[in-house]
Structure 1
Amino acid sequence: MVVRQFLQWLNSARVSERAAAAAALARAFVEHELPFEDRCAAEAAMTLLLDDPSPKVRAALSEALSMSRNAPIQVVSALASDQPEVSQYVLVRSPLLTDLDLIDRVAISSGTLQALIASRPVVSMGVAAAIAEVGEVEACAALLQNGGAQIASLSFRRIAERHGEDARLRELLLADPRLPGDCRHLLLMFVGAALSKSPLVLALMGQARAEHVTRDACTRASLMVIDRTDPAEHEALIGHLRLRGDLTPGFLVRVVAHGKIDFLGSVLIELSGFPETRVRALLASGRDVAVAALFRACGLADNFANVFVHALKTWRKVAKGECVAGAQEVSWLMLKYLGAAPGQPGPAEEDRELAALIKAIHLDVLRENARTHALEIAAA
């Protein structure tokens, strides 16, 4: 028999010869080129080759069997547990390895092997979750770059929580359109923390000023996160903001001034505990007294509630097409309501802090609109 002769020859063959012969035997097996009796013997021979002292021989066997569904499962399983230069072929390609096999390998492997598993043509949600939970940075980066990977929202969160301080991984996460809004906000916080600790920023501004500037920048960026967050993810984003202590009255002032009314509704549903239909109806067409009561039920002071109601009236008109307005106009109307607009006597004592916040928002919007207009002129 051919296989018997092969086994007898192995003892005297050189490594390169054994590697070539192992590959040829494996290809003949998976391509059904052997009679039944020889197939049984070939399977036994490949099992014996698992004990070959040279990793080059085992790697040749692994590569030849890596893409076949006809390969002996016990051989593939053993190869998957071998050293990296051997196991890499079956870990990346073999259709015989189940999700449980791959998850087990992720749990006990280094970042290089984890990255190989993350690079498989198709990565299930369960395997992706394992990589997100225990994978090193290299593996998580490979997962995010794999278009065939099914990544759950929870897995995105775990990657962001575990590796959010890594700049490259942050870039990959933020570039993924599937990334939940709360993860985007968490990554913004990592960016802000990195900037506030930057030696250059500290040298230019000092620690207190740097922390203040980065905190304000993160708050403004949070509004952009809302725009990129699917309404179905609002609840998760709100929960994240609450846990971090970022869901403040000041943040809600920015939300209202910039017209994020759908998100505001989600916040009010979460904070008040009222049914969604009731909250949405009040925001759309509720009377001032009822809407103010809704805001107060969420813990907002009367001055905040009243200025929110005033802004909401304008946004309703915009939604109905009765007027054209944006954050610049609405923030100015909010200032005017408090008596803090230019030419007015100034806000009441209890409204000064709120007026200062709205004025800062108004000036930010003015600068941004002016910057946008200048760029448009330059590009014309």
Structure 2
Amino acid sequence: MIEYSEFVRLSRSNDSDERGHAAHLAALVFLDHNGPADEHAALYAALISFLDDPSVKVRAALAYGLLHSLDAPRPIMIALLQDSPIISRAILQYSPILIDADLLGCVRKGDQSIWLAIAQRSKLSPRIAAELIARQDRNITEHVVRRADVSVDSELLVELARSQGQDAKMRGALLSRPDLPAPARLILVQRVTEALRELRLVRGALAPDRLVRLLRDGSDTALSSIGENEACQQRRDFVQGLVGSSQLNSRILLHAVVTGHVMFFASCIAELAEVSREKVFTLLESGSRAALWALFMRAGISADLGKVLVQLVLYARTADLADDITARHYVVTALTEELINDHDGVIPPALEETFAYLSEQNIALARKAARGVMRAFAETTHLAMALPPAAREPMLELPAA
């Protein structure tokens, strides 16, 4: 510490560096002071006097001394907030004294540098985050969205996914958020599908028909996976949105069962049939063929598709469709053969789409199952047919230290 006379000399010096040193010392002493009230008042008056110093370096030194403290005098911090840009940006970014009412005015009247300073605060309220996003500055919006510690309203996230989901960086920022709502995640999956479809590298590597099938199958799997997660969390909004927007069709229902997303399938049937999920679970687990038929009819599913779903559910009870590719292949193959036998090879128009889906899945699952079988065979066989080990270049050996 320095003596009072030395402090007075520094504060009256013609050298702005010395006056800045005095201002910084006064700020630190004020924050640590626990003595008489008159001393505290004198220190407060000294801080006020430094606000009128003509040198920005002196005022910046004062701000630096008070910047991170909750005990800093609010009137002084507000005065510094209206100072030169370099000082005001530091106050906006670091001072815990500022409340939302202070920040809102700065967001609405400021420029990109002001928005960035506020976006970098250690804590941002949902209100300020929404106000920053409302500035429609791409960089600021991405910065706010990438902050998982900042709460953003779910409806705003859905709107961002809808309006800016075509931008790859924004998609990445949104998808990295753990609180991203399911409708927004589904929109982003659709944007990714569109981007892949138009990507020259992808289009050149696959035949058009196969590309369409792969992208459609991937989209269906993503949708049912999102729905499965929402169903496990006992949230109904996602399925209600699918039903309300007519995005729920027979292909999605079939795909949900085939991929083992039974919770999502049950939620869809419960929503369509307007019955409780508990009752649907009970029927799917142990209901008779007639009870399952009645449930699907109540859900508004056609009679032909209802028969297929009944048989698919009965098969699913005896197989682990969620993790076992071979079991999926077996179930789809058995169901396809039953359809052919039941209709003597003449598939009715009402089931043409269902039959086409099962045929696609049969091919895709056969390929996956075959890869798994060949890998297992190659790893376990001791016959001459065993695959030779992969040729590897010798690893570089470094001398001991």
TM over 0.5: yes
d(CA) in 2 for partners of 1:243 and 1:110?
41
Give the one of 7, 12, 17 matched to 1:9.
12
Does the aligned pair in 2 maintain the 1:307–1:337 contact within 8 Å?
no
Matches within 5 A, 1:350-361: 350-361=350-361
Query: Do residues 184 (structure 1) and 173 (structure 2) align?
Result: no
Instruction: Return the letter of the residue paired with 1:9.
Output: R
d(CA) in 2 for partners of 1:86 and 1:61?
10
d(CA) in 1 for partners of 2:48 and 2:376?
70
Match of 2:263 in 1: 262
d(CA) in 1 for partners of 2:375 and 2:63?
58
Q: Give CA deviations for 1:200-253 in whole Å, capped at 9, x if unaligned.
A: 556777999877764454233333434554623642332444566532222222
Match of 1:166 in 2: 167
Q: TM-score, normalised by structure 1?
A: 0.78
Match of 1:367 in 2: 367
Matched position secondary structure for 2:97:
coil
Deviation at 1:254, TM superposition (A): 1.0
d(CA) in 2 for partners of 1:135 and 1:56?
34
d(CA) in 2 for partners of 1:36 and 1:207?
82
Does the aligned pair in 1 maintain the 2:228–2:263 contact within 8 Å?
no
d(CA) in 2 for partners of 1:132 and 1:239?
28
Does the aligned pair in 2 maintain the 1:121–1:148 contact within 8 Å?
no
> Residues 296, 63 of structure 1: CA spacing in aligned structure 2 closer, same or farther, 3 A cutoff?
farther
Query: Which is further off, 29-38 or 172-181?
Result: 29-38
Deviation at 1:44, TM superposition (A): 4.2
Aligned length: 373
> Residues 6, 243 of structure 1: CA spacing in aligned structure 2 closer, same or farther, 3 A cutoff?
farther
Q: Give CA deviations for 1:170-205 in whole Å, capped at 9, x if unaligned.
A: 223323333333222121122123233445556777
Deviation at 1:136, TM superposition (A): 3.8
Match of 1:310 in 2: 311
Q: Give CA deviations for 1:240-296 in whole Å, capped at 9, x if unaligned.
A: 445665322222221122121111121122233223333333323333333233323
d(CA) in 2 for partners of 1:36 and 1:3?
22
d(CA) in 1 for partners of 2:9 and 2:34?
16
Deviation at 1:308, TM superposition (A): 1.0
Q: TM-score, normalised by structure 2?
A: 0.74
d(CA) in 1 for partners of 2:28 and 2:358?
73
Does the aligned pair in 2 maintain the 1:318–1:325 contact within 8 Å?
no
Does the aligned pair in 2 maintain the 1:144–1:173 contact within 8 Å?
yes
Instruction: Return the letter of the residue paired with 1:345.
Output: G
Matched position secondary structure for 1:194:
helix
Deviation at 1:72, TM superposition (A): 0.7
Matched position secondary structure for 2:233:
helix
d(CA) in 2 for partners of 1:58 and 1:368?
69
Deviation at 1:73, TM superposition (A): 0.9
Matches within 5 A, 1:123-202: 123-131=124-132, 134=135, 136-146=137-147, 148-151=149-152, 153-154=154-155, 156-198=157-199, 200=201
Match of 1:335 in 2: 336
d(CA) in 1 for partners of 2:230 and 2:19?
57
Matched position secondary structure for 1:96:
coil
Matched position secondary structure for 2:345:
coil
Deviation at 1:310, TM superposition (A): 1.0
Structure 1 gap ranges (5+): none
Query: Which is further off, 294-303 or 74-83?
Result: 74-83
d(CA) in 1 for partners of 2:377 and 2:75?
69
Deviation at 1:40, TM superposition (A): 3.0
Match of 2:296 in 1: 295
d(CA) in 2 for partners of 1:157 and 1:82?
38
d(CA) in 2 for partners of 1:134 and 1:293?
53
Match of 1:274 in 2: 275
Instruction: Return the letter of the residue paired with 2:63.
Output: S
d(CA) in 2 for partners of 1:179 and 1:285?
35
Q: Give CA deviations for 1:132-181 in whole Å, capped at 9, x if unaligned.
A: 55564434444454454345544543443453233223223323333333
> Residues 227, 275 of structure 1: CA spacing in aligned structure 2 closer, same or farther, 3 A cutoff?
closer
Does the aligned pair in 2 maintain the 1:303–1:351 contact within 8 Å?
yes
Does the aligned pair in 2 maintain the 1:132–1:159 contact within 8 Å?
no
d(CA) in 1 for partners of 2:54 and 2:371?
68
> Residues 94, 313 of structure 1: CA spacing in aligned structure 2 closer, same or farther, 3 A cutoff?
same
d(CA) in 2 for partners of 1:231 and 1:336?
33
| Structure richer in helix, relative to its length | 1
Matched position secondary structure for 2:41:
helix
d(CA) in 2 for partners of 1:40 and 1:278?
72
Does the aligned pair in 1 maintain the 2:256–2:262 contact within 8 Å?
yes
Instruction: Return the letter of the residue paired with 1:281.
Output: T
Q: Give CA deviations for 1:104-157 in whole Å, capped at 9, x if unaligned.
A: 544544455444434433444444454555564434444454454345544543
Does the aligned pair in 2 maintain the 1:132–1:156 contact within 8 Å?
no
d(CA) in 1 for partners of 2:82 and 2:143?
21
Instruction: Return the letter of the residue paired with 2:285.
Output: A
> Residues 348, 209 of structure 1: CA spacing in aligned structure 2 closer, same or farther, 3 A cutoff?
closer
Matched position secondary structure for 1:24:
helix
Does the aligned pair in 1 maintain the 2:11–2:22 contact within 8 Å?
no
